[in-house]
């Protein structure tokens, strides 16, 4: 995936798995594949560098731009949730400016190939997409430990950038363009980012190249339920649309009429 010729090489044939544990083998295979084929979706650098085993935060980094990535892989299809590590650690990571972005891979164990791969830039991570799991019971070896899930289904489509879909690769230029389109979110605080992302999800749900302010107002009740302390939802909606327009995510077509950018 570092160049157009290598995109077609989706198999695991080059990597070796020698552990008894199926989960360990899956980790070796998936991490080996990323190290061998994956370019940086943030800047386009040819390769990602693996971190030392058992790194507490991330699995890979880009030497060129400093972006870090955590890899989660599973056999089968990607669902609405991705199982992650400790809930407390993940919550703490959200407050860090260099928290890793997520690479979520689905592979076909019988065919030994990558079937789907997406990247979620770290600026799409908010507390609302981190779901705490039930703490381990008193008879468990790590009694009281609490894991978490990443709710992929709650992330806007703009934040789930597809690299491979159903075994078919996407062009590197398209991936880089999609990442660049939302980079402005990194300059937005966590509290303000939630509103922006919720309005982005509304725009995606409207699913029209052009839409009106009235179309977005139709979701006022939903947004009011998410932010019960806000008594000025419509002005807040207009504010978020203005930010998205100023950042090039949307275009202002006419009075009360907006247009989605091609890469948004």
Question: Long-range contact list for 181-184, CB < 8 A, 24+ apart?
Answer: 181/248, 181/249, 181/261, 181/263, 181/264, 182/121, 182/123, 182/124, 182/158, 182/249, 183/121, 183/123, 184/247, 184/248, 184/249
pTM of the model: 0.87
**Superfamily the domain 4-183 falls into:** Dam replacing family, catalytic PD-(D/E)XK domain (3.40.210.30)
Choose among 3, 24, 25: nearest CA to 16: 25
- Number of helices (H), then strands (E), belonging to the chain: the values are 7, 13
Pick the CATH number of 190-260 from 1.10.287.810, 1.10.1760.20, 3.40.1280.10, 1.10.10.10: 1.10.10.10
Residue by residue, pLDDT tens for the chain (264 residues) are: 544 444 434 565 544 444 445 566 677 888 989 999 999 999 999 999 999 876 667 899 999 999 999 999 998 999 999 999 899 988 888 888 778 999 999 998 888 889 999 999 999 999 999 999 999 998 888 889 999 999 999 999 999 999 999 989 999 999 999 999 999 999 988 888 999 999 999 999 999 999 999 999 999 999 999 999 888 999 999 999 999 999 999 999 888 899 998 766
> Which residues 6+ apart lie within 8 Å of 171 measured at CB?
4
Residues of the chain with CATH 1.10.10.10: 190-260
Start-end of CATH 3.40.210.30 domains in the chain: 4-183
């Amino acid at each position: 995936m570092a160049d157009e010729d290598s995109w077609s090489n989706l198999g695991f044939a080059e990597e070796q798995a020698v552990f008894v544990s199926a989960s360990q083998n899956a980790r070796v295979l998936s991490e080996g594949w990323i190290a061998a084929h994956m370019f940086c979706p943030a800047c386009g650098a040819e390769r990602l560098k693996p971190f030392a085993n058992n790194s507490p935060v991330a699995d890979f980094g880009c030497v060129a731009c400093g972006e870090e990535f955590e890899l989660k892989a599973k056999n089968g299809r990607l669902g609405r949730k991705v199982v992650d590590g400790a809930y407390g650690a993940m919550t703490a990571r959200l407050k860090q400016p260099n928290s890793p972005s997520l690479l979520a891979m689905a592979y076909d164990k019988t065919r030994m190939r990558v079937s789907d791969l997406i990247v979620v830039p770290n600026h799409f991570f908010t507390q609302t997409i981190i779901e705490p799991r039930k703490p381990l019971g008193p008879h468990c070896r790590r009694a009281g430990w609490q894991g978490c899930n990443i709710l992929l289904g709650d992330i806007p489509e703009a934040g789930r950038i597809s690299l491979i879909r159903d075994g078919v690769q996407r062009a590197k230029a398209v991936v880089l363009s999609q990442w660049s389109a939302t980079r402005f979110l990194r300059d937005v605080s966590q509290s303000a980012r939630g509103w922006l992302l919720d309005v982005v999800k509304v725009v995606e749900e409207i699913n029209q190249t052009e839409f009106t302010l009235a179309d977005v107002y139709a979701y006022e009740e939903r947004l009011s339920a998410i932010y019960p302390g806000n008594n000025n939802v419509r002005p807040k909606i207009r504010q978020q649309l203005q930010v998205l327009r100023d950042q090039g995510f949307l275009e202002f077509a006419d009075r009360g009429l907006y247009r989605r950018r091609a890469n948004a």
